[in-house]
Every structure is written in C-alpha cells, then in structure tokens.
Structure 1
Amino acid sequence: MNLRQLEVFQAVLQTGNMSAAARLLCITPSAVSKAVAHTELQLGYRLFVRTRQGLSPTPEACVLATESQGIHQQLDALRRTARNLGASDEGQVRLAAIPAVTHEFLPRLLQRHAARYPQVAVEVRTLHQDQMTQALLTRSVDFGLGFYAHPHPQIRSELLVSGRLSLAVAPALWGRAPRAATLRARLTQVPVIRLVGDDPMRQSIDDIAQRVGAPLAPAIQVQTSRLALELVRLGMGWTVIDFLTAQRQDPASVVTQELHELAPISLFAYQARSVPEGLAATRMRALLGPALHEALQADPAGKKKPL
C-alpha cells in the first residue's frame, strides 16, 4: 500500500461510507471507490463488505488497520508540522505554559512583550506537562514553559530560575495551633488536597503529607494546582505550590510557608531540537529573565517566614 492508498483506507475505516470518506479527503466518491478497488486488486483480498450499516472492514482489513494506525498518525503529525512551519513567521509568537505559569507569571511577560513589540501577534496555550510534547514537536507552539526538565529526548530544556516550594493553607487553619507549633503539629488534623495523575508536584505533596502524618485518604484530588489553591482559600485543606504562585498570595487569604524539607523546583523553557527558533520567539524568550526578576522581586510583606 502506498501513502495515498493508506489515506483512503483509513478514511473509509473512520466513516464507513465512500461519500463521507470522499468529503473527508476532498476528492470524489468515485476516486475513493477506484482507490479501494485498486488496493484490493493489489492485495488479492477484500477490505470492506457492504452491510445495512455501511461498509464494514473484513478481518484482513482489521489487521491492516492495527498495523497502519501508527503510520497514519505520523502522517497526520507531519501535515500539522508542515502547516505550522508555514505559520511561524516574524509577525507571530506561539507559546504554551502550564496553568500555574499562565496564571501567575505569564501576564508580566506578555505586558513587557506588548510594550516592546506591539506589532507582533501572540498566541498562548495553557497545556499540562504531558501535552507539551506533541505541541512542540508538531510546531503548534514555538516554545513552552513548565516546571521540571522535559523528559523527551527531542525537546531541549533551558533552566530559567529555581525556587522553593511552599505550603499553602488558610489563615484560620494555620492559626489554630500555638505560634511555636511545629509543621507536623499544625497539619496533622488538616486535610491534604492532592493532585491526580503523574504531575511531578503530586510527589512533593505526598512527601510533606507523609512527614507530617497527614492521611492521604480520604482526600480531595484535583487536576491543577490552581484549583487546589482555590480550595485552600475556602479552608478545605492544605496543598503545596510553586514559588511563583506563592509570591503572589495575599497573606490575609492564604498563608504560605517555604518548605526547606523539599528540593527546590526549577522553571524551564522548552524547545523542539529539530527546528530553528524564529526571530519573534527568540525576542520574547529574551524577555523571560527580566520578567522573572520583576516577578520574584515583588513585595512579599506579610508573608510567613520559614520555621
């Protein structure tokens, strides 16, 4: 099977109809029919049988579908990459960031960039760490921002800044214990708000919970640190947040406590190794340092000092 035959085969598999497959591929139904017939002639067996529901794959076609799925996905990724490369010019920057960076730091960067390069369009996507790979490798975005070095070998991670993780808890819960109480004494009876999935922050939350003797179950589990923090403000428990998020908290609604028991967390910029960076993206990345410095120099008055 050549690539065109594979495209037709996959289209008929997806739609179960010659006409629908033709619309999907932007060709005529007769062209689809001829391509299928030619492929069947080459292979020496039927690929589809007609039923009341439409065209159903034969057992041989089901085997081919399983074997060819990866090739089809790679072709789709190639098309997106080719299309996205054409859109990556000097008049646009496309970046992705994890939710914590999008909400807490990115506005400062966008403000600086708009003041310096008002003619450049900017597209921002909020993605989780595991979604960064496809976006970067298909050039849907020019670069990404996230905590922890990216594990994929085709993605380069550039260290930007490091800082301490912090405990976040409502003042009412924090103030129930005596002023000189240890962290363990303050949190033993306070519920922990955890993260679901393989978010690296989850391990940090679980580590502190184990240290202070907090039960891990039953517990509320959420997908983002942003939602966990909102639950903290409502007095529903405690969680662990990054240094950028901690820097912007109002001590009247959230007490933040640096956790020296945990290793520092680092913010990285991610880039695909295979494609050179455009001028507009390079200029925006050059503003990351000053914007981060500004964010980290914000007045932390009223925040709790480490125990």
Structure 2
Amino acid sequence: MAQDDQIKIRLLEVFDAVMQTGRVTSAASYLGISQPAVSASIQRLEAQLGFVLFEREGRVLAPTPAARHLAEAVRPVFSAMADLTEEVRRFARTGMAHLRIATTPSLGHGVALDALRDLRRGDPEMRADVTVCNDDQVLQAVELGQADIGIVLGAIEETDLHRTLLPPTHLVAVIPRDHALTKHATLGPAELAKEDLIDAGRVISPLVAGSFARQGVVYSPRFEAHQSQTACAMVRAGLGVTVVDVFAAELYASKESLIRRFYPPTKLTNTVLRPAAIPESKARVLADYTRLLHAATDHVPFLAHQHRSPIYN
C-alpha cells in the first residue's frame, strides 16, 4: 500500500465512533465534527479497503461482517493509543521520567524513603534515583544539576538554591542497653559528661556543645564519628554514648542500645534544597515530594521517652 493509501488513524477513529453509536449524527456529536465529515470519512475508508462497512437500516447503520472483523483488528490500536495518552499525561505531571534525590544517611535511609513511597502511590510507574552521601556532596549534586532535590541535616544559610525547612525534631541520647543510665527517662550533660562521649559530626556537635555550655558542663568527647549513624554503631560496639538526631537513632539503634530524650531540649531543623529555577512540569512532583517529606518528618516523635518502640524501653 502506497504511503498516500495508508489508512489514517482519524478514519479509524470515525469508524470506531460509528461502530459504537450506530448513527452518523451520534458519531458526529461524539467526535465534535459535522455529519457530512463522518459520512465522507466512512466513504473514504470503504474506498481504501475495497468493501462496504455499513448498511443503512432505517436511521441505524448496521455493520457488515467485514466491519466487525475490522473492529476486532483495530481494537489493539486504540488500546495502544490510550496507553500513549496516559503516558504523555504522566510525563506532563512529573516532567522527567524519574526523580533524582540526594540525601544524607540519617534522612536518606528513613523519612526520605517514606515520602518516596507515598509519592509512588500516586504514580505507580514513577522512577527515582536515591543517592546517599554527606552534606557537602548533597549540596554539590543539586548545584551541578545532578540531583533534582537534596535533603541535608541542619539549616543551610549561604546558598543560591531554593530552601525549605522541615519540621524541627529533638536530639536524643543513645546508650548501651546494659548501661546504668538506662534507668533515666532523660539524659543531660551532667550524666553524659561522666561517660565516654562520641561526637556525631559537625552538624550535631555545635548543638550538643551549646547545650552542655548552657548547663555549665564542658563538652569533651573521647571519640569523633563525623556521622550520626557511625556514632550509633560505635555505641552498639560498646565504645561509649552519643547524642544524635532522632532519625539516625531510630534507624541505627539496635537490641544492644536504647534511646533516651536529651535535655535541655535541643532542636534540629533540616533543609530541603532544590534549584532556584525548575521547569513548570518538574515543579509539581518536587512540591508533592517536599510536602510528603514534611509530613513524614512531622511524624517523628519529639518526646522520645514516650515512644513505645523496644528501642526506647
């Protein structure tokens, strides 16, 4: 069949409308075109195929056996068109085919995945890349366009990136399960200063040091872990006690360690980063993910000693 003789999708659409409605007037109304246009399309299709598709029975067009056979043959075509239409609409909603997330370990192994799970429920076919790295690498990934969104511990001040602050959470103490301090519902500088302290890195350290100073206690850690999850692992190994973000504590506390509230109450506010300028189609999925991340963070317990999980008891 020459290219000029190839059947156009539009002719098949008109044919399908007539098959579904049985009337030229109804098909024209459904397609939003004139009745003469419907009739002309059917005539053109019949001419290309070389056989009659409909016979008039009063006001109704009765399909011939050839028309019924053709309808079966074109059904997969319309199914594929419906799938393509939905794919195009999904692409318009999400922009790119996948969401690229860069995040620090405490958040990336917990609330960032919770938010991603909830986002996927609204779009089961979505794709995502999740990269877990340190704060500097997260910041660099977003600045270089290697990530669509970044999540870091603490509040980032000096950056040209768009910033969204997540709900604040409290720092908590992590101690060995067999430690004498487990009898305390809360732990502060006076109790912890007597122990082998493990520093959890540059984001957590100034907050803990400030809390110690307000209580008139010198903050003098014996070990430096640089990351909250490493500090929790060191507690599990019996190297001492630590004060970390509740995200890391809940993820990395184990049967060998317990969580206690740290006082004086010390809050940690974390930051979501994204480029200052993003395509409109991409903005929606980023806004949805940020909203879900905000909700996931908001569910993290502020008063750790009131939590009923075994890692608190």
Q: Provide TM-score, normalisation by structure 2.
A: 0.58
Q: CA deviation at 1:117?
A: 1.6
Is 1:187 the counterpart of 2:198? The answer is no
Is 1:264 the counterpart of 2:271? The answer is no
2:246 equivalent in structure 1? 243
Aligned residues: 214
Distance verdict in 2 for CA 1:264–1:181, change over 3 Å:
closer
Whole-angstrom CA distance in 1 between matches of 2:149 and 2:239: 36
* Helix, strand or coil at the partner of 2:100: strand
Q: CA deviation at 1:291?
A: 2.8
Contact 2:228/2:244, CA 8 A, preserved across alignment? yes
Whole-angstrom CA distance in 1 between matches of 2:187 and 2:199: 21
Q: Which runs of 4+ in 1 moved over 6 A?
A: none
* 5+ long unaligned stretches in structure 2: 1-93
Query: Which residue, 209, 233, 242 being the options, matches 1:230?
Result: 233
What is the correspondence of 1:146-161 to structure 2 with a 5 Å cutoff?
146-161=152-167
Q: Percent of counterpart pairs with the same letter?
A: 17
1:173 equivalent in structure 2? 179
* Helix, strand or coil at the partner of 1:90: coil
Distance verdict in 2 for CA 1:181–1:146, change over 3 Å:
closer
1:83 equivalent in structure 2? none
Q: CA deviation at 1:175?
A: 3.9
Q: CA deviation at 1:100?
A: 0.7
Whole-angstrom CA distance in 2 between matches of 1:134 and 1:181: 38
Of residues 148-157 and 251-260 in structure 1, the stretch that sits farther from structure 2 once superposed is 251-260
1:290 equivalent in structure 2? 295
Distance verdict in 2 for CA 1:207–1:160, change over 3 Å:
closer
Q: What amino acid sits opposite 2:307 in the alignment? A: P
* Helix, strand or coil at the partner of 2:109: helix
Is 1:133 the counterpart of 2:139? The answer is yes
* Helix, strand or coil at the partner of 1:119: coil
* Helix, strand or coil at the partner of 2:270: strand
1:60 equivalent in structure 2? none
Q: What amino acid sits opposite 1:173 in the alignment? A: H
2:128 equivalent in structure 1? 122
Is 1:300 the counterpart of 2:307? The answer is yes
Greater Cα radius of gyration, structure 1 or 2: 2
1:216 equivalent in structure 2? 220
* 5+ long unaligned stretches in structure 1: 1-87
* Helix, strand or coil at the partner of 2:147: coil
Q: What amino acid sits opposite 1:153 in the alignment? A: T
Aligned CA RMSD, in angstroms, stands at 3.4
